Amino acid sequence: MGYGYTFIKSQLFTQIPYPQSSFSGQTVIVTGSNTGLGLEAARHIVRLDATKVILAVRTVSKGQAAAANIIESLNVPSSRVEVWQLDLSSHESVIAFGKRVQSLDRLDAVIQNAGILTYEWNIVEGEESHIAINVVSPILFGLLVLPKLRETAKATGQSGRLAFVGSDLHYIAKFKEAGVSGSMFDALRQKEIADMGDRYKVSKLLLLYAVRELAARNPLSSSSNVIIDYLTPGACKSDIFRDDLSYVQRLGIGIGTALMARTTEVGSRTLVHGVSSDVGEEAHGAFLMDCRVFPNGTNVDSERGQSLQKLWTQELFERLELIEPGCTTA
List, by residue number, the catalytic residues.
200, 204
CB-wise, 94 or 184, nearer to ligand NAP? 94
Least spacing, CB of residue 62 vs ligand NAP, in Å: 6
Q: Which residues pair with 293 in a beta bridge?
A: 288
| Distance in angstroms (rounded) separating the CA atoms of residues 19 and 199 | 32
Report the relative pairing of strands 292-294 and 123-124 from DSSP bridges.
Answer: unpaired
| Distance in angstroms (rounded) separating the CA atoms of residues 317 and 82 | 31
CB-wise, 39 or 50, nearer to ligand NAP? 39
Least spacing, CB of residue 267 vs ligand NAP, in Å: 7
Burial class (CB in 10 A: 0-12, 13-18, 19+), 147: middle
CB-wise, 153 or 209, nearer to ligand NAP? 209
Indicate the SS3 state at residue 192.
helix
Give yes or no for a contact between 138 and 111, defined as CB atoms under 8 angstroms apart. Answer: no
Least spacing, CB of residue 200 vs ligand NAP, in Å: 7
User: What distance, in Å, lies between the first and last C-alpha atoms of the chain?
Assistant: 41
CB-wise, 60 or 311, nearer to ligand NAP? 60
CB-wise, 25 or 256, nearer to ligand NAP? 256
Q: Secondary structure of 270-288 in the HEC alphabet? A: HHHHHCCCCCCHHHCCCEE
Q: Which residues pair with 85 in a beta bridge?
A: 57
Least spacing, CB of residue 66 vs ligand NAP, in Å: 9
Can you give the binding site for ligand NAP, defined by CB under 6 A?
Answer: 32, 34-38, 58-59, 62, 86-89, 113-116, 133, 165, 167, 232-233, 235-236, 238-240
Least spacing, CB of residue 315 vs ligand NAP, in Å: 22
CB-wise, 114 or 184, nearer to ligand NAP? 114
**Element at 110 (helix H, strand E):** strand 109-112
- By beta-carbon distance, which residue lies closest to ligand NAP? 36
Least spacing, CB of residue 184 vs ligand NAP, in Å: 20
Indicate the SS3 state at residue 306.
helix
- Burial string for 64-81 (b: 16+ CB within 10 Å, else e) reads eebbeebbeeeebeeebb
What is each CA distance from 255 to 13, 181, 250, 260, 261, in whole angstroms? Answer: 19, 40, 9, 9, 10
